[in-house]
């Protein structure tokens, strides 16, 4: 076994990434406060060819050194937009026929492994504030809440970890 060199990884250039067909997923960050989490979500979205990120409410926007520290350039490749009001973004995405999935523990959450998808689904994944989670008003507009199974004493993951786990599962369900 030999570690691959950077050249052997055949990574896309920023221009090639922008031109590449994307997974029909939009990530909505609902009042995420950690700049490192924001940067990590950008990097994960780049890795999975995610269509776009909405940065809402108190969620900071690039350029910022602490976002860049974890994004490693993904703020240049992944399309993003800032919106003050998460609810307005959700309403807009619903009109565009996106299926709104909020990552939250609720009385009717679907466990991630049980998430059913159709090949023509367009997904908007909402990730919430590190302490308060996804706002209840956003949950009220969501088509479904999804939950990552957890078996230890803690009942939450870091936002960036949740993004990675959930987006990987969604990408697999799209057949990638």
Is it the case that residue 176 has pLDDT exceeding 80? no
Write out the two tokens for 77.
């490749």
Tell me the pLDDT tens digit for each residue of 112-122.
999 999 889 99
Domain extents in the chain: 19-147+156-173
Q: What letter would DSSP give residue 73? A: T
Mean pLDDT (the chain, rounded): 96
Q: What values do phi and psi take at 37, rounded to 5?
A: -65, -45
Contacts of 50 (CB under 8 A, 6+ apart): 22, 23, 25, 26, 27, 44, 78, 167
Burial level of 84, CB count in 10 A (0-12/13-18/19+)? exposed
Could you tell me which CATH number the domain at 19-147+156-173 has? 3.40.1280.10
Tell me the pLDDT tens digit for each residue of 59-72.
999 999 999 999 99
Helical spans, DSSP H, in the chain: 14-19, 35-47, 65-71, 74-77, 86-95, 136-141, 159-173
pLDDT at residue 175, rounded to an integer: 81
């Amino acid at each position: 076994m030999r570690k691959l060199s950077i050249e052997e990884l055949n990574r896309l250039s920023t221009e090639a990434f922008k031109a590449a067909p994307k997974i029909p997923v939009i990530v909505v960050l609902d009042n995420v406060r950690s700049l490192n989490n924001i940067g990590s979500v950008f990097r994960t979205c780049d890795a999975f060819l995610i269509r776009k990120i909405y940065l809402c409410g108190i969620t900071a926007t690039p350029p910022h050194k602490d976002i860049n520290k974890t994004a490693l350039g993904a703020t240049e490749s992944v399309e993003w937009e800032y919106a003050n009001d998460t609810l307005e973004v959700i309403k807009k995405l619903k009109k565009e026929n996106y299926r709104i999935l909020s990552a939250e523990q609720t009385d009717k959450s679907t466990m991630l492994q049980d998430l059913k998808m159709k090949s023509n689904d367009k997904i908007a994944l909402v990730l919430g504030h590190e302490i308060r989670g996804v706002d209840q008003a956003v949950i009220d507009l969501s088509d479904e809440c999804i939950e990552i199974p957890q078996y230890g004493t803690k009942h939450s993951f870091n936002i960036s970890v949740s993004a990675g786990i959930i987006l990987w599962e969604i990408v697999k369900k799209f057949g990638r």
